[in-house]
Amino acid sequence: MPYIQRNTRDKILALYATPNYAGQEFLDTDSAEVAAFLGTKHSPNLDQAHDRLDLIDELTRSDMESIRIIDDLVELLVKTNSIRLTDLPEAARAKLLERKRARAGLTVLPDLLDDEEPLL
């Protein structure tokens, strides 16, 4: 940690706990660039920077959990006819359908254990 995303001028735009499409370059948490991005001065003791990175990690995990909640909420609103999927912008519909297909793909994985055969 952290993986960084840079802008066209090679400045850090974002920090990520894990590599992803936007952030694939790894920098050490003690690097001057990371400290500058976090608004701390580079020094041997970067406790403040580490604390901020911990908060970023926590927010990243929370964001991932929130995405699942939003997916489920939109699905519920559509099922109860509170909203129509077509009420949403096309980009939002595409993203929701993409995520729904991915989640459905996880539920159709084959059962690796056959109930008929003993485990040992």
Residue 41 has pLDDT above 90, yes or no: no
The answer to whether the beta carbons of residues 38 and 66 sit under 8 Å apart is no
Supply the pLDDT for residue 63. Answer: 85
The answer to whether the beta carbons of residues 26 and 36 sit under 8 Å apart is no
Supply the pLDDT for residue 14. Answer: 84
Supply the pLDDT for residue 117. Answer: 56
> Could you read off the pLDDT of 53-108 as tens digits, one per residue?
788 888 888 888 888 899 999 999 999 999 999 999 999 999 999 988 988 887 76
Residue 6 has pLDDT above 80, yes or no: yes
Q: What is the pTM of this model?
A: 0.46
The CA distance from 97 to 8, in Å, is: 31
DSSP bridge pairs for 12:
6
Q: Where are the domains of the chain?
A: 3-107
